[in-house]
Amino acid sequence: MFKFVLIPAKEDAPIQEFTADSSGGLSDDALVKHAKKYFHELTGAKSRLETIAKASPEERKMLAQQVRNQMKGALDSQNIDDDTLLDTIYRNQSIGSCDITALTVPVPGNSYQAVSMYAADQAKESGLSLNKRATSVLTACGHAANNGGVYGDVFLGRAHDNEASDVWKRMDFTVKDADSGADWCRIARSRTGGGGSGGKAAAASLSGLLQSGNAVQTIDTSATAASGGGAAMFGQNGAPPVQESWGSWTQTNDEIELVFQVEAGTKAKDCKVKFRPRHVSVSVKGSTVLDDVSLFDPIVPDECTFTLQDAKDHRELIVTLTKSEPRTWSWAIQMNK
């Protein structure tokens, strides 16, 4: 048995955890079967099949005309009769499918653990909602949020895949793992972690998924979220600042800017900021604001700065962090628990 999760696109809907039989292996994977069935119903394919199956001769004629109107220019309607057209649509709609995105590919750096995201085919084009939580996990693995991000409900699952040992087996992926701040995401975005910075060796090990006969959609790991429409979700590309309990933050491809509201009259000598490769500390007038908190990605301490500026009725402490890698951060800091 193994566990996998469903992250609903609706933000206030809880992440669900499922348990399935792992005996089917790669060729008869329970997660893939579950995802295909789920998306078959979610996208309306199942209802369209029922409509065609129950249609009267007159209704079939009307349905065929509707299909021709929708596919105008994509086929030669003069050479395809109504029954052949609808039968073709029926066969296509009968085959459950889903997009599979490799968040991590199995490499030694992640102990040969592959984490995949399963989503509906053409989710954005089908009008499904943006899934902010899934997009956050995607970018936390070092990938660009291309096409505006992840759309619709998604499943996440994990497998141990070592081609050299000819081993493929499902592993648990729990609700706790479905967090952009999880350790596996941090490992994924490292240079040897099999995520968006995995490089040529990581991309080659996708063959295990390809052998299953499922459509695999890989992410362009050379792209950065600065060029993607979904970057605005994370305070980038001129988007409003991301509001946090301690202040707010924005980012460019190269920098993170943290903004703290401080008292009027606060001077530079009142502020102490300590930069470390993966941590930052901030105190103002002896009061701790951030206590050696963890950062999403490494920074270059020697290139980081802070300054003060006046706002309407207060001053602002601006802390600028220089990214060590030019990519989107899904979050800025992780408060100590």
In this prediction, residue 67 carries a pLDDT of: 65
Q: Are 184 and 101 in contact (CB under 8 A)?
A: no
**Which positions ≥6 away from 73 have C-beta within 8 Å?**
none
Query: What percent of the chain shows pLDDT beyond 90?
Result: 42
Question: Alpha-carbon dihedral of residues 268, 270, 274, 279, nearest 10 degrees?
Answer: -110
Give the Cα separation of 145 and 143 in Å (integer): 7
Give the residue with greater pLDDT, 235 vs 118.
118
| Nearest to 246, CA basis, from 286, 285, 293 | 293
User: In this structure, what DSSP letter does residue 69 have?
Assistant: H
- What DSSP element (H or E) covers 102? strand 99-104
Instruction: Mean pLDDT check: name the lowest of 69-73, 84-88, 91-95.
Output: 91-95
Using alpha carbons, select from 293, 298, 291 the residue that is nearest to residue 329. 298
Lowest-confidence range among 77-91, 166-180, 232-246, 266-280? 77-91
